[in-house]
Amino acid sequence: MAVKVHVPRKARLVRFFLHSWGKLLIALAVIALATGAAVFTYYYNRYARLVDAKLRSGPYTSTSMLFAAPKLVMLGDEGSPAEIAAYLRECNYGDARQASMGSYNLRPDAIEIFPGPESYFRQEPEVIKFSRGKVSQIISLRDNSEGTEYYLEPELITNLFDRKREKRRIVHFGDIPPIMKDAVLAAEDKRFFQHSGFDPIGILRAMLVDLKERRNAAGASTLTQQLARSVFLTQDRTWRRKIAEALMTMHLEKKLSKRQIFEYYANEIYLGRRGSFSIHGFGEAAEEYFGKDLTQITDPDEAALLAGIAQGPSLYNPFRSPDRAKGRRNTVLGMMREDGFLTQAQYEHAIAAPLEIVSESAESSAAPYFVDLVNDTLQSRFQDRDFQANSYRVYTTLDMDLQRDASAAVQVGMEEVDKQLKRRYKTYGITMPLAQCALIAMDPHTGEVKAVVGGRNYGMSQLNRVLAKRQPGSVFKPFVYTAAINTALGDNPTVFTPITNLVDEPTTFWYDNKPYEPNNFESKFYGNVTVKEALAKSLNVPTVKLAEAVGYDKVVQLARSAGMNIDIRPTPAVALGAYDVTPIEIAGAYTIFANGGIYTKPIYLERIVDQHGSSIYQSEPEHKTVLDPRVAYMMVDMMEEVLRSGTGAGVRARGFTLPAAGKTGTSHDGWFAGFTSKLLCIVWVGFDDNRVLKLDGARSALPIWTEFMKRAQRHREYRNVSPFTPPDGIVTADIDPTTGQLATPACPQHDTDVFIAGTQPVDVCRLHGGGATQVAGWAPTQPSGNTPASPSPTTSPDYHNRQQVQSIPISPEPVPPQQPKKQHKGFFGRIRDIFK
């Protein structure tokens, strides 16, 4: 019987590996390990280089940034150091001195500002001190000299400007409130500061949940993994992508600190859409959803909502699905309580808080229609530059305060329009269509566009209505009257003045053998009216008569000189604004009135700086003299009358009292165009399908214009508005409204009107016991012997309302020097000459 010898296991293994098969297995294992190590090293280094390159350039800096206009701070301005600090954070300033845009140091009663190498300005460091809520001192930190003003960095409109239309508002780790950090950790990665990029406990927990739910119910990705996926990779769920994600996660943990990883994540995470833009980062999300700077997010319910959206930005969009978003918010609050970030009392208070987000129509911070205008300008004027793939800094003319005012005014005004339309459509049992609106505000002297609203809701419609061609209606009429007042210059047989008489009655006009029969609003006719009264009441028939007398071609020539399109034709209909123009064309055209006869082209861009800090563009205002300043002032005076007694009187009734001039307009749509000495604004209201609005401009566009201007006057730049100043060559005269002649002390009523010197009446009212005629500075050589050319029936003088600019005394003493170019005699004056 054979004896079985027991061979130890270790000996058997040794014998096996000494055998040829064992040696082969060892060799294969070594080769596999070496190959694996080589492959790992190759791919790790490959993705490490990719990560390093991204980190060197910044994963979200290789895109253009759009900035608003700089903000001026002056002695006496109200505010606080904290408010300026919040503003500077909007401008990408940090609280660390190495910030490239600039940095600041906040003190209890002051703020120190240090512009960086990428700052718009090359200013010295300054300290702004406050006392009792106002700026008390502005001191240079370089030489301790004191100043009266300081320009703050332009505010960031949108951080990204690329093909994906992404928006970010960069924040630093120190700017993120503790409650926001707690909410993110609770919702996404509670052991973030303990693990090395992967969370085994989280993976096991997720596996157990998945087995229990029998579906992929829980995720186990850490913040580092999510950062690697969102910044450097696609969202494809393939093994190749997962391996790359793991390698990048390892390198990110090796390369960056936990604070840096958290900061990158906080700026990169996708958090939904607003209109046509996608929102990235908690900084932008805080602004879009709550209208706040991220530093102001201090309530647990707000932090939990932002953190909760990250799991499903479309699913938990608070605009589209408020109940679902609130449910997710409450889930995150529960996680925060379980992890010890909230007490039971804090949790109960937060869970009971209502979901309060800013209105979806409030897009003032984004200025999306203005951004589109800038984009169009960049694409058309700088075709050799790729603004969508390079980090240009584009400085614009936008005033963020006015932009917010414009958005608010449109919202308030369109609610009023909706109520009026609802009553009308309810009467007829028809579903009310949605009216739209456009507003553009600009500096008439520089052409800088300060605010743009191109529609009620950019998310619903990206059509920019400031560029839409529509019939301007009566806002075009001032150009007819301007052509008429222009007759005072040069050798014209007929000269029109504000008191020239026109007949308002049903009239048929013939042009190109075709009849044209305009009607007045509500078919009301007023008989004899003055030029000034016809404009104030926006009368149609007298306006066409005036255009016919002056020449339709001259009206069109003036309109084109003021920047309107070449499609305007010299026909009777041109007088009533029948040819399409855009609101922005009207804005540019009205600068000839607000800017003393000089046309100023609207501009959006102020400066462009490339990624190397070199300026590639600097704006130059485009000016063109269109009118004599005396004619421009005459028109301003007549448009002031529109606001005093005409169709624009609602401006004063609604509480706007600053010196202003303007004109209502009604076609298919409602218009209002008006200005002060500092700000010009155009408002259009109508339907996109061009159906008739059936609300005149005074009830549709005027309320929006007034609301905007009332808000604008709160800001220092637009508050101290001076009256319009007459240029040399403008005189005033007291007129008897009955005779249209110079009033005497015996006249029961005096109206003061302005004239271009030489066109004012020279006959004293005989009806009320007048005497000899003298006007200061204008004495006819032969007071009663020279008979001027007989005026036509449509040019006899009449009365209109008053504005005191310069008194013209009536004196028996002759005053030199020159003969007036034109004399307009009233009815009684002509009778007197006949008997002579």
CATH code of residue 202: 1.10.3810.10
Count of domains in the chain? 4
pLDDT per residue as tens digits for the range 555-603: 999 999 999 988 899 999 999 999 999 999 999 999 999 999 999 999 9
Buried b (16+ CB within 10 A) or exposed e, 162-172: eeebbbbbbbb
Q: Kindly state the tokens that stand for 754.
A: 């302005």
CA-closest candidate to residue 729, choices 757, 762, 761: 757
Q: Is the pTM of this model over 0.85?
A: no
Please list, residue by residue across 416-431, b when 16 or more beta carbons sit within 10 angstroms of its beta carbon and e when fewer do.
ebeeebeeeeeeeeee
> Are 77 and 174 found together in one domain?
no
Per-residue model confidence (pLDDT) at position 218: 44
Whether residue 75 is predicted with pLDDT greater than 60 in this model: the reply is: yes
Q: Note the pLDDT of residue 578.
A: 92
Domain match, 43 and 104 both: no
The pLDDT of residue 67 is above 50: yes
Q: Is there a domain that residue 682 lies in? A: no
Residue whose structure tokens are 């609280």: 95
pLDDT single digits (tens) 734-786: 988 888 889 888 888 888 899 999 999 988 988 876 543 333 333 332 333 33
Q: DSSP string covering 14-45, please? A: HHHHHSHHHHHHHHHHHHHHHHHHHHHHHHHH
Closest CA to 413 of 683, 682, 689: 683
Element (H, E) at 166: strand 166-168
217 and 334 belong to one structural domain? yes
Q: What is the largest CA-CA distance in the chain?
A: 169
**Whether residue 243 sits in one domain with residue 142:** no
What pLDDT does 199 receive?
55
834 inside domain: yes
CB neighbours of 182 closer than 8 A, spacing ≥ 6? Answer: 303, 336, 339, 341
pLDDT tier at 714, thresholds 50, 70, 90: very high
Mean pLDDT, rounded, for 478-498: 93
The CATH number of residue 122's host domain is 3.30.2060.10
151 with 177, same domain: the answer is no
- pLDDT of the residue at 835: 36
d(CA 77, CA 714): 12
So what's the pLDDT on residue 794?
34
**How many Å apart are CA 388 and CA 64, to the nearest integer?**
7
C-beta separation of 474 from 577 below 8 A: yes
Q: Which domain holds residue 30?
A: 21-57
Say whether both 94 and 53 belong to one domain: no
For 486, the token pair is: 């222009």
What pairing do the DSSP bridges indicate for beta strands 134-140 and 146-147? antiparallel
| In the predicted structure, residue 793 carries a pLDDT above the cut 50 | no
CA 423 to chain centre: 31
Does the pLDDT value for residue 798 go beyond 70? no
Q: Are 673 and 592 in contact (CB under 8 A)?
A: no
> Could you write out the DSSP letters of every residue in 626-637?
-S-HHHHHHHHH
Distances (CA, A) of 490 to 295, 478, 628, 681, 824: 65, 20, 12, 33, 16
The model's confidence at residue 99, banded by pLDDT at 50, 70 and 90, is low
Let me know whether 97 and 206 are in one domain. no
In this structure, are residues 297 and 288 in contact, taking their beta carbons and an 8 Å threshold? no
Taking residue 6's Cβ as centre, other Cβ atoms within 10 Å add up to 6
For residue 34, is it within any domain?
A: yes
Last residue of a domain, one of 125, 158, 191: 158
- Looking at the fold, whether 99 and 172 belong to one and the same domain comes out as no
CB atoms within 10 A of CB 221: 19
Place of tokens 């926001």: 180
**Does a cis peptide bond (omega within 30 degrees of 0) precede residue 817?**
yes
Of 297-306, 360-369, 370-379, 826-835, give the lowest mean pLDDT range: 826-835
Measure CA of the first residue to CA of the last residue in the chain; give whole Å: 169
Q: Are residues 147 and 216 in the same domain?
A: no
Residue 395 lies inside a defined structural domain of this protein: no
CB burial of residue 24 (10 Å; 0-12, 13-18, 19+): exposed
Has residue 262 got a pLDDT over 80?
yes
Residue 679, strand partner residues: none
**247 plus 216 within the same structural domain:** yes
Average predicted confidence (pLDDT) for the chain: 81
DSSP string, 653-697: HTT--SS-EEEEEESSSEEEEEE-SS-EEEEEEE-TT-----S-H
**Range with the poorest average pLDDT among 239-248, 347-356, 751-760:** 239-248
Q: Evaluate if residue 219 carries a pLDDT over 70.
A: no
- Of 158, 179, 211, the position where a domain reaches its end is 158
Residues 51 and 69 in one domain: no
Give the pLDDT band of residue 515 (cuts 50, 70, 90): very high
Nearest in space to 665 (alpha carbons), one of 602, 533, 544, 575: 575
- Which of 119-133, 526-540, 642-656, 664-678 has the weakest average pLDDT? 119-133
Please report, for residues 274, 277, 380, 600, the alpha-carbon distance to residue 363 in angstroms, rounded to integers and kept in the order given: 9, 11, 25, 28
The pLDDT assigned to 121 comes to: 76
pLDDT at 165: 62
Helices 282-290 & 258-268 angle (0-180, nearest 10): 40
What's the gap between Cα 275 and its chain centre?
16
| Domain end residue (candidates: 158, 192, 215) | 158
DSSP symbol at 771: -
Who has greater pLDDT, 607 or 163? 607
Active site residues: 188, 474
Higher pLDDT, 161 or 781: 161
Q: Band of the pLDDT at 352, cuts 50, 70, 90?
A: very high
Residues 238 and 338 in one domain: yes
Q: What is residue 275's predicted lDDT score, i.e. its pLDDT? A: 63
Note whether residue 99 is domain-resident.
Answer: yes
